Amino acid sequence: MTLLSAEGLNKSFGGVVAARDVSFALTAGEMLAIIGPNGAGKSTTFNMVGGQLRPDSGRVTLAGQDITGMPPREVCRLGVGRTFQVAQTFLSMTVVGNVQMALIAHAGRTRDVVADAERLFRAEALALLDRVGMADAADRPIGELAYGDVKRVELAIALAAAPRLLLMDEPTAGMAPRERASLMRLTAGIAREEGIGVLFTEHDMDAVFAHADRILVLVRGEIIAAGAPEEVRANEQVQRVYLGTTGVKAALRARRAHG
């Protein structure tokens, strides 16, 4: 069954087209990667799905419900979890506090002025942290964690909303290679186990080809190829503009090294 579908999304910024007629669909439990060179419109497409940007035209539906132009908080309430390219967490809080906050929000108790926030949903939060392997760090301030660990916590935060769909914008950006692989494995495992659909953008081709069920290739705002990893890898156009040129690859490596 189709979980997420995007139909004919268009977006331009002051004459510059960032997305042109972008359409795709995603089923539950599927991992769909969007790849493309810098400025190809990956983040724009992503943000149109997540509610951060409103498309100029086109439609986004989640399990049949139209969510086009809905603000992120409402998209979240419909069961969409999200991680960011630069991890966004509540820096003043502990690791478990971050997840508890997400659980409080999910439970709709953010206006509660009576309960003690520190005690609310602690067990559930610890369980989520356990799933991402961060239970040991539960009571440390999140600001003290290594970046890779922060990304794991962010995943736990995203999972707190019991999502049907995860939107992950460059989930492994800024991480060491080994951490990357393990985060992607973790994500893929959870997604398959719980039937959560995952839409992610990624620069790391190893991660993409290892875990994505399907891949969309965006260039200058347009989808030039879509399909299973092997198909995409074999696509000539893709090879020409993106994968094939070793120069591009080297540039990508260099970029990753800088994070």
Partner 1 sequence: MDFSFVVVQALSGLASASSLFVIASGLTLVFGVTRIVNFAHGSFYMLGAYIAVTVVPWLLEIDRSPWLFFVGVLVSAVAVGILGVVMEVLLLRRIYKVPELFQLLATFGVVLMVQDAVLKIWGPVDITGPRAPGLRHGVEILGQRFPAYELFLIFVGPAVLGLLWLLMHRTRFGILIRAATRDREMVGALGVNQALLFTGTLFLGAFLAGLGGALQIPRVSASAQMDLSIITEVFVVTVIGGMGSVTGAFLAAVLIGQLQAFGVLVFPKITLVLVFLLMAAVLVVKPWGLLGKPEAAAGRAALPEGILNPARFAAVEKGLLALSVTALLALPFFGSAYTMKVATEVLVFALAAFSLNFLVGNGGIVSFGHAAYFGLGAYAAGLLVVKAGVPMEPALVAAPVVAGLFAALFGFFVVRLSGIYLAMLTLAFAQIAYAVCFQWVEFTGGDNGVVGVWPSAWAASRHVYFYVVAVLVVAAILALRHVVYAPFGATLRAARDSEQRADAIGVDVRVHRWLGFTLAGAAAGLAGGLYAFSKGSIDPTMLGIPMSVDFLAMILLGGIQTVMGAVVGAAAFHAIKDVFMPLTDFWRFFLGASIIALVLIFPRGLGGAYAALRRQPGVVRA
**Interaction site with partner 1 (CB under 8 A):** 50, 71-74, 76-77, 81-82, 84, 86-94, 97, 101-102, 104-106, 109-118, 120, 141, 143, 157-158, 160-161
Task: Return d(Cα 117, Cα 64) in angstroms, integer.
Answer: 35
Measured at the CA of 113, the angle between CA 111 and CA 119, to 5 degrees, comes to: 100
| Shortest distance in whole angstroms from residue 130 CB to partner 1 | 19
| Shortest distance in whole angstroms from residue 29 CB to partner 1 | 22
What distances in angstroms separate CA 257 from CA 43, 145, 175, 233, 252, one per listed residue?
Answer: 21, 20, 9, 24, 9
| Shortest distance in whole angstroms from residue 238 CB to partner 1 | 31
Task: Return d(Cα 222, Cα 226) in angstroms, integer.
Answer: 11
| Shortest distance in whole angstroms from residue 76 CB to partner 1 | 4
| Shortest distance in whole angstroms from residue 127 CB to partner 1 | 17
Task: Return d(Cα 113, Cα 21) in angstroms, integer.
Answer: 46
Instruction: Pick the closer one to partner 1 by CB: 167 or 224.
Output: 167
Euclidean distance between the first and the last CA atom of the chain, given in angstroms as a whole number: 37
**DSSP assignments along 184-199, one per residue:** HHHHHHHHHHHT-EEE
